[in-house]
Structures are given as structure tokens and as C-alpha cells.
Structure 1
Amino acid sequence: WLFILISVFLGTCLHFISHFKYYDKLLHFSSPIVLTFLGYGILTYFLENSRSQYPSVWFFMIFGFAFAQMCGVLWEFWEFLCDQFLGLNLQRYLLHGQPLIGRKALLDTMGDLFVNTCGSIIASFYAYLRVKKSTTQYFKNFKIHIH
């Protein structure tokens, strides 16, 4: 809920993304934290319905990290497509209406992917510290319930 508040309400509706220079980076840092835990929930859901035993904590760490990274890359594709076909400048390739050249044009996208990686590493590390002895019990807290 907090992420929805900061991204949709504050970022889009109140235009924080336009008024604060690094607001986009805050969103790219916080979303992979949520997505890493969502990855744990998805994995736990499918493991509960299978007959196999729970894998090691490292499998959860890698899956959550990879899930958040994949979502970050897909988001950057979305930004590129919106820029390419709708001229929205989501990747900040224009500065005062002038296109950026070379490395300057890549800085926003690469910065977003770097911050995304940092967020998912921090979420994975936090979960690793919380696991203690029982991988099964900890990750069941993230299980998605579909009715």
C-alpha cells in the first residue's frame, strides 16, 4: 500500500516525479523490494501445491532477486516504448526539449537498473537475515492466497 501511495498518488497525481529530482530513483529503489517479496509469495504458492520439499534459502533468494530484476527490465522496456511511440520522455532522454547524446542519454536507464538491483539485493539480504533455521516457516508468511 505504501508503494501505491508514493508511486500513484504522490508521484503521478501530485507530480512529485516532476518536482523532485531523485523521486524516480526512490520509486526504482522501493519497487524491487516489494517485487522481491512478491516473488517469494509466488514461489511459496507454487511450492505449496507441489509434492516436493522446500528448497534452500538460496533458491528463494535467487528467485526473488531474479523476479524483481525481470520486472525492472520489463519496466524499462515499457518506458522506452512510451518514449518511442508517445513521446513521453519517461527515460529522461530530453533535457529542455533537446535530446541527450551518448552516455548522458543512457544515465537514467542505467541508473534505474542499478538502483533496482540495489533494492532487490537489500530485500534479499533482509530476508536471509530473518530466515533463522526454518526456511519453510519464514517464507510461508509471503504465500499468496488465491480464492
Structure 2
Amino acid sequence: MKRKFLLILSVAYTVFMAYLCFYYFTKGETHSYQVAFGGIFCGLVPLSLILFTKIKFNMPIMLSYFAFLFASQYLGSILGFYHLGWWDTFLHLLSGALLAFVGIALYERMTHQHARSNISYWLVFLFVLSFSVFGGVVWEIYEFSMDQFFSMTLQGGGNFDTMIDLLADTAGGLLIAIIASVRTKRRFKMS
């Protein structure tokens, strides 16, 4: 049931972005159809993973992924919410938290359940925070590369924009890393 729902959600997002790509292409709105074109690929990533791998997806993470895509691609880039000023920072805060949750899911997949009681809550904290911050850094490298090689303006405010984005990513990741380490510490005391 969960797999079927994620398939439908992935197809729906991909079709929505394909429609927007065609619509804005026919209107000659280059920026909007390019964003929508990128959205097609973002929608296809989970679809491809579902169809061609045996990865089991965490439903809240997948729902957050599509909500984030919608908020950044459609609301932010196409409808212009990024002009609000705070929208970009808000999304970086959310992406930091989302990446931290992905870090937690990876931690739980990569460690044996019985071994977790021997893993320090500090290590959990550092892993989750590092994973989240690393994702933010990779995104900023992407923005910088697109600006340099394709004359885009993803880093609208230059270094100031990059630092605000990284601080927001870190704050979102830090919050979830603290929660994860406190939960790990409590589990360790109960064992």
C-alpha cells in the first residue's frame, strides 16, 4: 500500500511538472519551464528508486521530500515566493531538518539494532548534524557551479546568501540532531 501510494505521488508530481514545463515553454517563459523541467527529474528520482531498487522508503521523509520540492520549485521559483526574502531561509531550515531525518534513517539502516545500545549518543548527534550540514554544503556548491558555468543567479546575495543558507541548514539539522541524541541517550539508559 505504501509503495503504491509513493508510486502515485511520484507519477503525479512528475506529470504536474511536465505539464508546467510544456505550459511555460509555449508561453516563452524560459525560467519557469527550466525549473519545471528540473522538477520532472526530481519527481522521477523516487519513482526510479521504487521501481528499480529494493529500498524501503520512510513515508514521512518521502512526503517531506515532495512537499519540499513543491515549495521550492513551484511556489518558490515558478510562483515567485523567493521574492518574499524569508522564503529561501525558511526552506533551508526545513531542508536541514529533512536531511537530518534522512541521516537518522541511514543510521538506523546501517547499524544493527542490538549494537545501537553501545553507540554513544554523541556519535549519533555528530553523524546526524554532519549529514545535514554536508547536504547543505553540497547544495551551495551546486548553486555556485550553476552561477559560474551557466550564468544563473542562484546565489542572489553572493557570499551573504550562501552563509545565511548554511546557517539555516545547520540550525535545522542541529535541532533534529539534538532530538535524536536525547532519544538515543534515553534508550541507552533504559537498556
TM-score normalised according to structure 1 size: 0.73
Task: Give the count of matched residue pairs.
Answer: 122
Give the Å deviation of 1:8. 2.8
Using CA pairs below 8 Å that are at least 6 residues apart, which structure has the higher relative contact order?
1
Amino acid aligned to 1:6 = A
Q: Is the CA contact (8 Å cut-off) linking 2:103 and 2:132 kept in structure 1?
A: yes
Structure with the larger helix share: 2
1:61-94 deviation digits (Å, cap 9, x = unpaired) = 110100011111010000000000111111115x
Show structure 2 runs of 5+ residues with no match. 1-62
**Cα distance in 1 between the residues matched to 2:129 and 2:76:** 25
Question: Alignment identity in percent?
Answer: 32
Show structure 1 runs of 5+ residues with no match. 94-104, 138-147
Amino acid aligned to 1:53 = A
Amino acid aligned to 1:79 = E
**Cα distance in 2 between the residues matched to 1:11 and 1:129:** 34
Partner residue of 1:53 out of 111, 115, 121: 115
Correspondence for 1:124: 177
Correspondence for 1:73: 137
Amino acid aligned to 1:126 = I
Correspondence for 2:164: 111
Amino acid aligned to 1:115 = A
Amino acid aligned to 2:141 = F
The SS at the match of 1:48 is: coil
TM-score normalised according to structure 2 size: 0.57
Is 1:35 matched with 2:99? yes
